Structure 1
Amino acid sequence: MNLHRKGRTALVLALVAVVAMAFRVSWNALRDIANAVGADDTAATLYPFVVDGLMALALVATLVLTDDARKFALRVLGTYTLASLALNYVHGLVPELHDRGVDWARLADWDPANWALVLLATSLPVGSIYFGSDLVAKVLHHRPAPIPTLSANADESTETERNRSMADLPESTPAPITAQVERVPDPVTVDPVAVASIERRALASESTPPRRATGRVPDAAKSPRPRRTEAELLAEARTATADWPDAKVTAEGIRRAVRTSPANARMLRDTILAERAEAAA
């Protein structure tokens, strides 16, 4: 573990040393470019820190920020890297820029190219103010994702182990079946004499003695309808079933229409059906 940490530390220190030397080389070119576009000695000395310094700030921001903010930091880093590369390339192409006594010089012989390079060199400090402030604001307002606590990890691992142990079982073991023994009652000896006496008492209680006449039935209790003869019943049945089909001529239907007993209804049904059969023949 210590060897791994020492290796990482050595790698970071080597990277810092390389970046510092690269900055020193780029610093010479950017200082001469600043002098060529009209900056004084102090401004020309600080000019490389404005360009390459913002590149270092954008690189740190990409390590801290996430999502869209990280993409913005990468765009700033790429833009200023290309700008620094272009100015270093121009510094190598124009020998007049290497003379310390020259306060102003053309960056290119072709006028449109010279104007574009001057615009690029003079706009980089303004862009450093804007993009540098935005990157610092994004870093200060960035909220890193919460690190899961030890208890949550322990609960998750416990749940995982429980699920794994349950999955190892091919099927659940059934519970043991316990046999229940029921006690059979002892046989009861039945006395035939006692059973006969009990049956006689039950029959005697179930049989209902006939009601004796208590006197003359009052007129209000008698049926107001007089008793009809068979001829009268047959006449009423013929009238009620005159428009009935043969299938509808039943004893129940006649009983309800004529209001008579089931026996009379069956007699009337047979008579009416016989008359219809004779008439049809």
Structure 2
Amino acid sequence: MTTATDTERPAVPRDWLLGLGMVTVGVAAAASSYAGLQNLAIRTGWVPWLSWLLPLTVDAYAMTATRVWLAKSTRSQAARDWAKRNAIGAITVSVGGNAVDHATAAHVFAITWPLVVAVSAIPPIVLGLLVHLAHLRTQPAAVTEQHDTEAQPEQEAAAPPPEQDKDRQPDVKPKPRKQPARKPAARTVRSFPDLLAEARQATAGWADAELTAEKIRDAAHCSMANARALREALKSERAAGRPLHAIEDAPDTAGLDESEGEAA
């Protein structure tokens, strides 16, 4: 429970020199900015007796947006954010307008049609922004904030007591076991004599013209390099008159001839 003494704020003593300095700086800055924007309006084709409306539009909107941004009476956070962006934007436009006016006066660059279009578009754009700002300022505070404050006591009441929390054990999910990687099957490496024996058996009935590397590779299921080597080996054996098939040892005919001679 708060008392009247808690809400009362101590009175701030007035500083007349500070107030006088703020008024002086404000008037000087407003007058110089006003003159620069008015000259820019005249340079871009505005009627002289209406040129004063351009600085009034920009500077007055900057002041209005800043007031909505910083005022405590602004209830909607969306309106406060919108006013903040518009205040910074209006101040930027005022600074840019004064810079362009001084640059054209110093003959840094000439007035072109894009600049004329940009300056003439300022009043309608500011009017649309002002209407939107006025609409946002009338909106109440966000409803979600009220719901959050109301739901917080309910969540605290629904929370279980600490004793029950200690008895509970957290649900621990078992980690999936990693399956061991399967090793690729070891390939059987055949030696060249084994390949030659298989090639002899497969090409026993082939003619010499059929002994090509492609056919030997398909028959022996080997690489092209081994197939070429097998082809050369088979051709060499055929040229030397060696048998293509593996034959068993022939019977010893010498002993038979000797026995037949003795019998005669």
Same-fold status (TM-score > 0.5): no
Using structure 2 for the length normalisation, give the TM-score: 0.43
Using structure 1 for the length normalisation, give the TM-score: 0.41
Q: Name the larger-Rg structure.
A: 1
